Amino acid sequence: MGSGPRVDNRLYIRLPVKIVDQHQILELHPKISIVHLPRQKSRRWCTIEFNSKQDLEEVRDALKKLKINKKRIVVKPFRIPDKNTKTKTKYESEELERLLA
């Protein structure tokens, strides 16, 4: 995700299966309070929100141990993308390395 500021009460999760609806995510753990799904129908990721940081840490540890279809769930801290930072293309990175060499 981006390198912007962290949001302390949200996690980014990516599943090995397609997410059908919010109830599928809410069933993963009882302490998940709000689910934010992307608009795409082929989604496999979402962000989940908690009431407290303590709940977040507890659920994060539980989800890291959980497997769906013998595959793990990817759990990362949610960060707001920084709109002022431009990501360099492969060409720009190679050009910069060539100039610095």
The answer to whether position 96 is within a domain reads: no
The answer to whether position 92 is within a domain reads: no
Q: What residue numbers bound the domain in which 32 lies? A: 6-83
- Cβ neighbors of 78 (< 8 A, separation 6 or more) are 1, 6, 7, 10, 11, 12, 47
The answer to whether position 65 is within a domain reads: yes
pLDDT in tens, 3-49: 555 567 899 999 999 999 999 999 999 999 999 999 888 899 999 99
pLDDT in tens, 67-95: 999 999 999 988 776 666 656 565 666 66
The answer to whether position 94 is within a domain reads: no
What is the pLDDT at residue 2? 47
Number of compact structural domains in the chain: 1
Query: What CATH number should be reported for the domain holding residue 49?
Result: 3.30.70.330
The answer to whether position 98 is within a domain reads: no
Question: What region does 69 belong to: left with phi over 0, alpha with psi -120 to 50, or beta?
Answer: left
What is the pLDDT at residue 5? 56
